[in-house]
Amino acid sequence: MARVEVEMPQMGESVMEGTVIEWAKEIGDSVEEDETLLEIATDKVDTEVPSPQAGILIEKLAEEGDTIEVGQAIAIIETDADEADVSAGGGSAEEETEAEEPETEEEPQQEEVVAQESSEEEPSGGDTDEEGERVEVQMPQMGESVMEGTVIEWAKSIGDEVEEDETLLEISTDKVDTEVPSPQAGTLVEILVEEGDTVEVGQTIAIIATGKAASASADTKSASTADTQKTKEETTSTQKTESKPAEASTSSNGAPSGGTEPQRIGSDGRFYSPLVRSIAKEEGISQEELESIEGSGQGGRVSKEDMMNYLKERKAQPEQQSQPAAQPSGGLSKPSTESKPASQGKKGSISAGELDIQRPSENVERIKMDRMRKMIAEHMVRSKQTSAHVTTFSEVDVTNLVRWREENKHKFQERAGVKLTYTPLFIEKIIQAIREFPLINSSVDTENDEIILKRDINFGLAVALGEGGKGGLIVPVIKHAQDKNLVGLAKSVNDLALKARNKNLNPDDLVGGTITLTNYGSVGNLMGTPIINQPQVAIMGTGAIEKRPVVRETSEGDVIAIRHMMYLSMSYDHRIVDGAHGGAFLNRVKELLEDFDTDRAV
């Protein structure tokens, strides 16, 4: 049996990606060669993708609606042919070479190389154990929305022996950190990605060799290293030589006048897709300028839409903002002595040079920002730049809720096997209010000018990690929260909080949220203005519950009573939620909390 990869086809010279519209076949279905497997859409054309061979569809690597880069595998077909037949086109490479009469001296050499490569990658059945093979280790998929990962640390070095499932390296995504095991026992002969590098899911990051393939790789390692070093030296020399002419070759608006395509991985660690790099090249956008563009994708990734919006703003800028005229040839530029205002740098930050942070006051300590802190910073800034934030507050009398919980928490724990905190009680009432105000449970599709109403309420919980929250912030999600009763919500809250603090969350625990709750009252704070968790349109916050004297109306007149009071806040996106609607929703949550039934059964 052989496994054949179906790849996203190239549907035009400038088309770099395609979107899966609909699958025509399901997993387990038989397909004939050239029979339609799925339908895809690009920015140029919609078309059907045929099966490259007859067989059975055993795996779908992309869901309907997913956008995939050209050349990336989207499905696996299992055929009746042998592995060797598939790799060599139905017969061994040696037989093909001998059967064909060479017309020129170059052609048989080329076929001989193909034959050698084929035999290395797919050794024929009986010789596999003796000859060995080279196994690619790929960046794994760590969640539905995770498209890339960063290598934190290699646990093995080139030449080390590894067992099957033994840890090779540790990777980090914007959702979770995890270890990557070896898919097969053998020798680590190649490391293709250095520590700190960010690579796409599915990209090869290492090579494991078994049997004779391991020794052959070891023999060629020293020569390969020397060639690599020589290439690096030549590249460095070329870059130094060409740097000055490249700087001079600019257009009137300061962009390169037809430049080279930007790098795949920028100095900011972000991945730039072929489509984005192609647009940048066509529009004369330099690497530095590309890295200054705020991305709306996962981890700040720049999308086609981001590029189009940036180009609109770029073209709208007045000509006087372009770079000043160059100095006459042979003249020396005179340094400016005028004071300049602080300039806007990358991602909205103030340029370090203008504030002169290299010469701070004496008693300072520089602390390196870890990856989680950088991701939180990027997400928070991007959210403020994306949504029109408005925060509104309400003072809530939660006396009935507090009394019921105090009277029933021990009974609840005995029956449900889990502690009853205030959080599931708050979530329950917020869900009730969302049913009446569904717009709160939505997101904005700016590309199509549409509001996406979510039928499922997937409730995100902001959880602080480490002592005093020094370990960062993470937002696990209770999926289908609208279908859970109080016991189910309590179990989900406790389970996710425990997994978050023990760093045992799965990638899928962190995606798909439609609204978020943050409890700043857990550290004694009364009020807060939380930042919306994109792409949601609302986040709610609960302050500390305190006893306070309040005025209450009775049949005998106004009285001052001691009540359990709490401030409830909600930040919402004014792009689609207006003040009246947001205020009405918050007041409805307030009513539901204040009217809590104290006779409710446990």
The catalytic residues are 574, 578
Q: Which residues contact 231 (CB under 8 A, 6 or more apart)?
A: none
Q: Up-side HSE of residue 232: CA atoms within 13 Å toward CB?
A: 6
- Other CB atoms within a 10 A radius of the CB of residue 227 amount to 11
In terms of Cβ atoms closer than 10 Å to its own Cβ (0-12, 13-18, 19+), residue 585 is buried
Among 233, 189, 238, smallest CA distance to 215 is for: 189
Selection from 563, 562, 567, 564 nearest residue 526 by Cα? 567
Instruction: For residue 186, give the 3-state DSSP assignment.
Output: strand
391 and 586 Cβ atoms separated by less than 8 Å: no
Report the distance separating Cα 486 and Cα 361, nearest Å. Answer: 54
Segment holding 538, helix H or strand E: strand 538-542
C-alpha 440/C-alpha 483 separation (Å) is: 18
Hey, what's the torsion of the CAs at 409, 412, 418, 419, to 10 degrees? Answer: -10
Closest CA to 542 of 565, 573, 571, 518: 518
How many other C-beta atoms are found inside a 10 Å radius of the C-beta of residue 192? 14
